[in-house]
A and B are shown apart, each in its own frame.
Chain A
Amino acid sequence: MSRLADLAVEEEDGAVVARITGEIDLSNAATLERAMLDTVPNTATGMVVDLTGVSYLDSAGIRMLGEMAERLRWREQRLAVVAPEGSRVRGVLTMAGAQDVVAFEDSFDSALRAVVGQG
């Protein structure tokens, strides 16, 4: 894993939860994407990517999220991104119009609900 960001993965309620801390840019986006997708088994309902601990995110990161969403959609799995209202990352996502490609939630709980479903 690159020095710029750390990735921690766990399973909760049948969904894979990936927590990223640090910075995401051109230098590590592709590596992070591969590392996260590798952790998602076919049996999982989907994936929650928690960006609460991310201090820097740019278009390379947004592109990474878009590609992950598309890949998971193929496998009929859902992706939700945690980016709390008012955070720097949320600002960047909004600014770049990322809501078209990926759903982002204010809190971890709402993201998990979005992935696991109403049950």
Chain B
Amino acid sequence: MQLVTRTRTSLLLLAGLLLSLIVAGCSVQYVSRYDAVTENSITEIQRKVEGLLQHIERTAGTQAAEYDNFVTFYEELHVAAAMLNSRAQALALNSITAEQSGLLQEWLRSLESLHQTGITDPVLLIPVRQQAEQIFVAMLKFELAKKRQFDRGVTIQE
């Protein structure tokens, strides 16, 4: 992964420098600009997942925690994730976020599969909670880094 990243970064650096000498009014852009809708969508999905985990933790082993009670919830969660993925794919230079949102969709489907097996013990959710935190923090960190980059560019131009 890092090898690919380094190679890609080196090529982009070279291409960027060459382009900067050729193209008028130049600045380079390798990553999509910050998108508030994307950030809000990630946060909203995180809120839903956190609510679900808290509910199952409290009720694990009872009828209230059974998967059948959450079919509609998962449908809505998958719709929200699909919309995030579609938007991410539609934005230019946004392949990383698009791939991340695709992985988030896979992770949510896995979470649903885990729930279908019957979670009778809240201890099973400990690794799930850690994973959720890693995923959402990683995705938000990238979106906020885009925002900082954009804000910095605007400030300098002013």
A and B associate in one complex:
no
Q: B interface vs A, CB < 8 Å?
A: none
